[in-house]
Amino acid sequence: MGLHIVAFNLFSFVEGIDTLQAVIFMVGLLLLLIEVFTPGFGIAGGGGIVLLITGIILTARTPFEAVIMAVILFILLAALLAIILRSAKKGRLSRKLILWSSSNREAGFSTSADTSIWIGKEGVALSTLRPAGTAQFDNQRLDVVTEGAYIETGTKVRVIRAEGRRIVVEPVN
């Protein structure tokens, strides 16, 4: 009988929850849930926390009841977050939130044009290369660089290396 009285006194705030407080708690929890799934500045989460604190203030009759309510809400939020995170990693949410396909070269995707086709080709410097400038290869103008050498306009050049979009040339002797 004594345990029943202690439990009743511990959770006596439940009988003080009216419709207004219940709505405030539910809207607060809903706003916190919205904050988890929407990017933003924390407005929904901040509003949810304010509503939960307001609900506690309106419901609790003693500071002890307020602490108990805060602990219960914290446990509920932690459990809800754990369920959501587990679902986001392995459950239904993972199929909606995580991009499982990748855009790789084997699938035909590329971030830039393949400049390796120019390696070994010879052309003419259209501008002074000091060390960057423009050269023409097979009637196509390309932005090129040297390894630091100064190359005059009209000099024959050869592509020695292609690193992504960077095409490195040297003068042809």
3-state SS, the chain, equals CHHHHHHHHHCHHHHHCCHHHHHHHHHHHHHHHHHHHCCCCCHHHHHHHHHHHHHHHHHCCCHHHHHHHHHHHHHHHHHHHHHHHHHHHHCHHHHHHCCCCCCCHHHCCCCCCCHHHHCCCEEEECCCECCEEEEEECCEEEEEECCCCCECCCCEEEEEEEECCEEEEEECC
For residues 105-127, give the mean pLDDT.
Answer: 83
Residue 87 sits in the same domain as residue 137: no
Residue 18 sits in the same domain as residue 82: yes
- Residue 110 belongs to a domain: no
Tell me the two tokens of residue 67. Answer: 């602490």
pLDDT (tens digit per residue) in 14-47: 666 778 888 888 899 888 888 877 777 788 888 9
- Residue 74 belongs to a domain: yes
Could you say which of 70, 97, 124 is where a domain stops? 97
Of 116, 93, 114, 96, nearest to 105 by C-alpha is 114
Expressed as residue numbers, the domain containing 73 is 2-97
Residue 24 sits in the same domain as residue 89: yes
pLDDT given at position 160: 96
- Residue 78 belongs to a domain: yes
**Confidence band of 67 (pLDDT split at 50, 70, 90):** confident
pLDDT (tens digit per residue) in 136-165: 999 999 999 999 889 999 999 999 999 888
pLDDT given at position 111: 64
Residue 7 sits in the same domain as residue 88: yes
- Residue 128 belongs to a domain: yes
Residue 85 sits in the same domain as residue 131: no
What integer best gives the mean pLDDT of the chain? 82
45 and 32 in contact (C-beta within 8 Å)?
A: yes
CA atoms within 13 A on the CB side of 64: 4
pLDDT given at position 7: 46
Has residue 120 got a pLDDT over 70?
yes
Could you say which of 64, 97, 130 is where a domain stops? 97
Q: Return the C-alpha torsion angle 47, 52, 58, 60, nearest 10.
A: -160
CATH number at residue 144: 2.40.50.140
- Residue 106 belongs to a domain: no
- Residue 107 belongs to a domain: no
Residue 15 sits in the same domain as residue 90: yes
Cα 139 to Cα 57, 94, 121, 136, 151: the distances in Å are: 78, 51, 12, 6, 20
pLDDT given at position 173: 81
Cα–Cα distance, 120 to 142 (Å, whole number): 14
Has residue 8 got a pLDDT over 50?
no
- Residue 20 belongs to a domain: yes
Number of separate domains in the chain: 2
- Residue 21 belongs to a domain: yes
Has residue 69 got a pLDDT over 90?
no
Could you say which of 69, 97, 125 is where a domain stops? 97
